[in-house]
Structure 1
Amino acid sequence: MSNGQETACLNGEPAVKRYRESGGVEALRTPREPQNRVTVVLGAQWGDEGKGKVVDLLAMDADIVCRCQGGNNAGHTVVVDSVEYDFHLLPSGVLNKKAVSFIGIRLGRSGFPFSLNLAKYVFPLATIVYCFSLCSLCFCSLGTTKKGIGPAYSSKAARNGLRVCDLVSDFSIFEEKFRVLASHFQTMYPNLNIDVDAELEQLKGYAERLRPLVTDGVYFMHKGLTGPSKKILVEGANAALLDIDFGTYPFVTSSNCTVGGVCTGLGVPPSHIGRVYGVVKAYTTRVGVGAFPTEQDNDTGNLLQSRGREFGVTTGRRRRCGWLDLVLVRYAHMVNGFSAIALTKLDILDTLPEIKVGVAYTVDDKPLPSFPANMDVLTKVSVTYETLPGWCCSTEGARNFDELPSQAQDYIRFIENFLQVPVKWVGVGKSRESMIKLF
């Protein structure tokens, strides 16, 4: 410095002068809205609500479609031009080839363009370890898919896991880390039989194929959020009541399936999250074990299961079925703040002369003020139902709200009124065309 002159330069210009001309601190203090907002689609029950169909519909107009959590333990079905696609890992918007599909969760393969970020990798080793760990538990099976997702998230928390960025960097360093991890598991489970050399050979091939597809997720999302106008769609896997923190613990998955998973899984700032759509099945289903207050283990449940073809996409397991539980959905709304609801599979109710909706819980004749966190309490609840008239005719041909039977319209309005959330879409079939848009 000389004579107190400003000599600090940025791109050849005095930095302080540039700062003053830009408005200085006053410009920084002026509130600015995010340039691009993210649209999020989440399950509002125990999964299997039909999120894939909603994401596929919205993805037709998206530039980037993201998966933010979970793994191939989730299954999403999309029907386009009478062709049925079952996606377990890929974003359901991958059928839109104009959009970039971004996976913020774990390794995947497909013929479609997609990118990976600092995702955790689920090894075959992890699946075997999971089976051993379940056998060692002193309580009943959690009813998981046994896809190795639990060990992947456990190793993440234990800080000994391996990520995709490790896989595609120096493979000799990756191999060393992998052998240490395998040795750790073999020490924990002496009967664990795993061919480490064979897995490493397979992984080496994966590394070569995946390297061109890997990018840094934080910078990728930041560019999409702050650059030229982009429509960004995020698809949550599983559902709110399977969230590791807010779900029906311990009968949950290992990830955050609620809206917070968008921030932790993709590095998206909360201020960039715009609309959050909750997908609600017109009745309730659940795969595996755990409390299910509105379950109908009777002819009604069998009818819903049969008409809805309620079998898990990933496991093929028969889904338990029951009446719509609005106490549960309202809780999901409290956690996620739904902008609107997509109500799916309304047509499955077409043959019922009356339809019940769970609207309150009691225990020992005492009302519960909210959805209980304790699962021992949830198993004891009695459900208060509101009985609505059915419509006893097909809704599958309806393509707008006015074409629905008046009783079906009343059913939708009842849900909106109870939740104080508008229903934006109603599904009356499997294809894109069967999603009725209300507004």
Structure 2
Amino acid sequence: MHKADLIVGLQWGDEGKGKIVDMMAQDYEVVARFAGGHNAGHTIVTNGKKYALHLIPSGILNPDAVNIIGNGVVVCPANLMKEMSQFDNLEGRLWLSDKAHLILPYHQMIDQAKERMRGDKAIGTTGRGIGPAYADKISRSGHRVGELKDVETLFVKIVEYLNQNRPVFEAMGVDVPSENSLKEDLERYRDGLLPYITDTTQMIWRELREGRKILLEGAQGTMLDIDHGTYPYVTSSNTIAGGACTGMGLSPKQIGRVTGIAKAYCTRVGNGPFPSEDFGPDGDRLREQGHEFGTTTGRPRRCGWFDAVAIRHACALNGCDQISLMKLDVLDGFEKIKICVGYEFEGERIDYVPYDLEHVTPIYETFPGWEKVEGIDDYDALPDSAKAYIETIERVSGVKVGIISTSPDRNDTIVRP
């Protein structure tokens, strides 16, 4: 049986999945995105040119790869069309599931209004309408991409929905769009997207039957999973390996090799628990050296040390075969480097992620730093202290570090046999 390989983030998103998907996509014929929305961002640097992708799979930079946006994704048509405008000749190279749910302008207004209402208890969403679109999906009042094939019927359904909820929207301070602007938007979405809409479930089954090499690409990270992350400070979808099955229409038996992506340190955007966060000069230095500002929002990311407890948890949830360790070069020049190897919780040392991550204290091992690993593409050429750091990550996580990135460029990557 042919299987689809999977790349998944192991931390709080922003792990550098884009570079690895881009690198690996050169060897795959199909690259498919299975969850999330345009709140995700992959920054890819190829031949010195930078690309920021939000909805389109990173395989788009391989001219021979077919790219699929699966049913588990929530799609903002305006943003997708804007992103598509960067590329030429997308027909036949990009496909959009007719079962994916639409993010409409009022979803974004609701998202931003709810965050304002939460005040200092705000979740820290990107305000892109992701949560409200998934909420409508689960409450069975959402609309799917396939409905753009009949704009007249879709328009009537949305107007009915807006009228039913008008008192709620007004109480939240949300401006309901006029019928004219709504109709114009839907027609524009139809005209821009119709050639790309298809039944991607049947498509990916066919590609598997025909023996195509398929790579599945997630968004965000394991610790933001709606079920297994730091709820409620999470995203609104299943970001783990299981989400690839529901988000693409695959069975667990059709998932092949799982590569988990992690930074050599840790970052988080938005609010919520982050045990290994560093509030001092080291955290500031990680942010500056790592250019840790959101691809989608531009927000500065919270920075801290590698959390091996959370990585072991994430590797178990995802069934990881290997870890891809990103941005090792960001640690260049640090005199001392730390790894969180356990937590203190309710007076005891624990080595797992508890329900209440808010009240754990990190337990660190400290390592000597190194001068420079930037640009190294051979494991044996790494400084001994960098090798000791990597081997500790392997020991605590129980998973081999098979890929190591030493700069944003695709070529500066160590692939261990």
TM-score range, shorter chain: over 0.9
Counterpart in 2 of 1:252? Answer: 234
Structure 1 segment 123-142 matched on structure 2, within 5 A:
123-137=104-118, 140-142=121-123
Residues 1:423 and 2:404 aligned together: no
Residues 1:199 and 2:193 aligned together: no
Amino acid at match of 2:64: K
Amino acid at match of 1:358: C
Deviates more, 1:342-351 or 1:183-192: 183-192
Structure 1 segment 197-346 matched on structure 2, within 5 A:
197-226=180-209, 228-346=210-328
Residues 1:390 and 2:356 aligned together: no
TM-aligned CA distance change 1:137 to 1:320, over 3 Å: closer
Deviation at residue 425 of structure 1 after TM alignment: 0.7
Counterpart in 2 of 1:57? Answer: 23
Residues 1:116 and 2:96 aligned together: yes
CA distance in 2, matches of 1:66, 1:225: 12
Amino acid at match of 1:178: I
Deviation at residue 396 of structure 1 after TM alignment: 1.3
Counterpart in 1 of 2:46? Answer: 80
The answer as to whether partners of 1:182 and 1:196 remain within 8 angstroms in 2 is no
Residues 1:182 and 2:162 aligned together: yes
Q: For this pair of structures, how many residues does the alignment match?
A: 399
Deviation at residue 135 of structure 1 after TM alignment: 3.6
CA distance in 1, matches of 2:375, 2:138: 49
CA distance in 2, matches of 1:138, 1:354: 38
CA distance in 1, matches of 2:327, 2:27: 23
Amino acid at match of 2:160: V
1:7-27 deviations in whole A, cap 9, x for unaligned?
xxxxxxxxxxxxxxxxxxxxx
Deviates more, 1:365-374 or 1:144-153: 365-374
**3-state DSSP of counterpart to 1:357:** strand
CA distance in 1, matches of 2:140, 2:126: 24
Counterpart in 2 of 1:22? Answer: none
Residues 1:437 and 2:415 aligned together: yes
Structure 1 segment 2-151 matched on structure 2, within 5 A:
34=1, 36-104=2-70, 105=73, 106=75, 107=77, 108-109=80-81, 110=84, 111=87, 112=90, 113-117=93-97, 118-137=99-118, 140-151=121-132
1:402-438 deviations in whole A, cap 9, x for unaligned?
1111111111111112111111110110110011111
2:341 to 347, 351, 359: 359
Deviation at residue 182 of structure 1 after TM alignment: 1.9
CA distance in 2, matches of 1:197, 1:153: 25
**3-state DSSP of counterpart to 1:359:** strand
Deviation at residue 369 of structure 1 after TM alignment: 4.8
**What is the aligned-residue identity percentage?**
40
The answer as to whether partners of 2:224 and 2:230 remain within 8 angstroms in 1 is yes
Deviation at residue 82 of structure 1 after TM alignment: 0.1
Deviates more, 1:396-405 or 1:426-435: 396-405
CA distance in 1, matches of 2:393, 2:135: 38
CA distance in 1, matches of 2:192, 2:289: 42
TM-aligned CA distance change 1:217 to 1:187, over 3 Å: farther
The answer as to whether partners of 2:115 and 2:124 remain within 8 angstroms in 1 is no
The answer as to whether partners of 1:129 and 1:185 remain within 8 angstroms in 2 is no
TM-score between both structures, scaled by the size of structure 1: 0.88
CA distance in 2, matches of 1:196, 1:46: 39
1:34-70 deviations in whole A, cap 9, x for unaligned?
2x21111111000111000000011001111011010
TM-score between both structures, scaled by the size of structure 2: 0.93
TM-aligned CA distance change 1:282 to 1:155, over 3 Å: same
CA distance in 2, matches of 1:239, 1:196: 38
Amino acid at match of 1:122: I
**3-state DSSP of counterpart to 1:373:** coil
The answer as to whether partners of 2:276 and 2:307 remain within 8 angstroms in 1 is yes
Deviation at residue 140 of structure 1 after TM alignment: 0.8
CA distance in 2, matches of 1:58, 1:286: 25
- CA RMSD of the aligned region, Å? 1.3
Deviation at residue 139 of structure 1 after TM alignment: 7.0
**3-state DSSP of counterpart to 2:36:** coil
1:408 to 386, 399, 404: 386
Counterpart in 2 of 1:28? Answer: none
**3-state DSSP of counterpart to 2:121:** coil
Deviates more, 1:257-266 or 1:102-111: 102-111
Amino acid at match of 1:408: A
Amino acid at match of 2:161: L
Deviation at residue 350 of structure 1 after TM alignment: 1.1
The answer as to whether partners of 2:376 and 2:413 remain within 8 angstroms in 1 is no
Whose radius of gyration is greater, 1 or 2?
1
Runs of 5+ consecutive residues of structure 1 not aligned to the other structure: 1-33
The answer as to whether partners of 1:275 and 1:339 remain within 8 angstroms in 2 is yes
Deviation at residue 379 of structure 1 after TM alignment: 2.2
The answer as to whether partners of 1:132 and 1:189 remain within 8 angstroms in 2 is no
The answer as to whether partners of 2:312 and 2:398 remain within 8 angstroms in 1 is no
Deviation at residue 229 of structure 1 after TM alignment: 1.4
1:101-125 deviations in whole A, cap 9, x for unaligned?
1001224231333001111111111
